[in-house]
Structure 1
Amino acid sequence: DEQAVAPHGLRNCGGCESKIAKEHGASLALLGVVTRVSRTEHTMFIRILDAETGNPVSQGFTDLRMGANYAWPRSVKWLMTNRILR
């Protein structure tokens, strides 16, 4: 639902991703945001919400320095292993 997201985008909509996930029959909503800080640095945030209640299930944040554009998958793997799925 574009009206629920606008004008702030998913990362700033106050958890609207849970409503969108619920409307599509999902039990969980996952939001991931990668922000490029510089050519060799980025940050990553992952949040999982219960689609029914909108309550947080898990979340994590990390940054990566001295990596190229293709290095961000390492951040995803680290976040999922060390913060989200533990």
Structure 2
Amino acid sequence: MSILARASAIILAGFCLLGSAEAATRVVVFEFELFDTSGEASPRGPKPEEARRLALITADMRARLAQAGYEVVDTTPKQAEITEAQPLRNCNSCELEIARALGAQIEVIGLVQKVSNLILNINFQMRDTATGRVLRAGSVDIRNNTDEAWQRGISYLVRNRLLDPPLTGKAAP
């Protein structure tokens, strides 16, 4: 067999494998929200540095899920509905319909509760969008309202609560 024929056979086999592979599980990670019970809460929402940290840990969770093999769904097409429904923790699972409309099989919502400027906790919940069943949930307390503390908290949650032990069934990547 010539080199060209071998190369063509290898390429054709690769396309066959790609065509038969199952698509990655589609997951939507909604923006983490802040629930400030510290007495420092502003009616205008989170302080600028806390809003930036919320975006930071949301992006981190999305990146870690993508790295784990999930297809992370863009929320931009439904941003107006998401904004209207916020805070998601109070919308009686309305975000499930948004996640379904985005084509996600799994959704993740997150919350940072600020007890004080020193004590915070980061929480998440992962649900099956078809049934609403909770697949995973986790919480971690952090000390210090800094980028480093928030990043360490989300890292711990993803490694030790979200992805370990590995998800199975249709929730697997």
TM-score by length of 1: 0.81
Residue type at the aligned position of 1:61: S
Aligned partners of 1:79, 1:53: CA distance in 2, in Å? 24
Equivalent of 1:27 in 105, 130, 137: 105
Q: Does 1:54 align with 2:118?
A: no
Runs of 4 or more, structure 1, over 4 Å off, are none
Q: Secondary structure at the match of 1:46?
A: strand
Aligned 8 A contact 2:120 2:145 in 1: no
Aligned partners of 1:30, 1:20: CA distance in 2, in Å? 12
Residue type at the aligned position of 2:140: T
**Structure 2: unaligned runs, 5 residues or longer:** 1-80, 165-173
Task: Quote the offset at 1:53 in angstroms.
Answer: 1.1
Equivalent of 2:158 in 66, 73, 80: 80
Instruction: Give the aligned CA root-mean-square deviation in angstroms.
Output: 1.8
Aligned partners of 1:73, 1:16: CA distance in 2, in Å? 28
Aligned partners of 1:38, 1:57: CA distance in 2, in Å? 30
- Which structure has more relative contact order (CA 8 Å, sep 6+)? It is 2
Aligned partners of 2:117, 2:100: CA distance in 1, in Å? 37
Aligned 8 A contact 1:47 1:60 in 2: yes
Counting helix residues as a fraction of each chain, which structure ranks higher? 2
Question: What's the % identity of the aligned pairs?
Answer: 33
Aligned position for 2:85: 5
Equivalent of 1:63 in 130, 134, 141: 141
Aligned position for 1:42: 120
Counting strand residues as a fraction of each chain, which structure ranks higher? 1
Aligned position for 2:42: none
- Structure with higher Rg: it is 2
Q: Secondary structure at the match of 1:38?
A: coil
